Structure 1
């Protein structure tokens, strides 16, 4: 009798599992789940909006992952995900066919150099900042700071934040080889804890335990980004492979809605597209003002 009951229980468990798997397959077939992958600078905004969207729309799920802009663009191009998040235009990435992708610009993000608070510097020239990342200046005393060795920390090569920083600070040159991190959160933590450290982060990741640097007297603020007085900024793109449909389009409409753009975007440290007083093309040219 005990063996019989065990067999019944096992069959019931298997049947239940098959039912759940069938139900999941049917649910997935209805297109109620999408995945957005890529830029870690954009990730906090997409995660926050996705959570709010899911709360209001039971049964619809937005999976959000990081990995960097290069990963987002390559994954959406291959059809592996529905949305590729990127800090850079698709045209700027080698191996990406921008003509196959549709660009949905959802916000603007400023990017700032950040340092350990003990370096003794709060303002730096653009020329000296470039020299630091090219390895030509190696001690903070050379730029008016404390006698502390400079510790460079870069984002990984696929990072859109890194691409933007190198484009506008290094004039397209590649930073000297140094420690690299995929995660913006990890960059912030390392800079806060490492004497002499310098890196760069989206405004949305800046906290009180790190120090931002002004450049040539211009502070890294939203107002300065809006007028292009602060030039280290980028659009936050959510790319799709062709025209989006169903849940993908609905979610993109939601993140571009007035409620999200006028409230959540600013609260999380981004700038709404509508607030920009300038626009730039993928080559960095000002196309309107």
Structure 2
């Protein structure tokens, strides 16, 4: 397996334990141990208000598994995953390389604790390649520069943006970020995305969750369907189009324990660049 190290040594990266981070909170929701008291504190507040959140997190991750498996089945052999999060098996490259052992995957995240676990992300097949870049999602130039060392952008790439963009508001350039990434992709590439939405819950509940994230110093922009659809302008959505996470090809994966009485609270879609 071709393996490249992230640009920045782990020892030089400072992990901010004074404020929560979405990747570490997501790890806590999934039952992981790579988080800090500040992440657990906000996580517990959120779960006390909405006990289904851990199940919702697992439903979101299950969508990522199904979508990755489906896109690999369409012949795509290159994946760029931005907003990777802390490794939880199976990781995206394991799902892709199960379908296509020669798949090449580049991960990206901005939390140093993810970098500290990059070694776990870099174990793949002998035929494929896996790499990791430490960068902010908004720094698309740096991400693309690094990704081009592993991926051939003259050929189709699957761009995975899972549970990422609701942490970036319109003023943070969320739409511009996606447009820059889409522009770099060759025809035949795919965009895989999930995004929290207020559409399936009472507005007062959605506002309460926004306020709780804001109190923790985090942005949470819960976009409705029309605003989510804007990310896919110029692309051709695969069936069934924009749907809730649990409604996207459930036959491609295993049910998530506890999901029977829970709504994912997220829109998802997989779309092709013509």
Please report the TM-score for the alignment, with normalisation by the length of structure 1: 0.32
Higher relative contact order (CA 8 A, sep 6+): 1
Larger Rg: 1
The structure in which a higher percent of residues are strand is 1
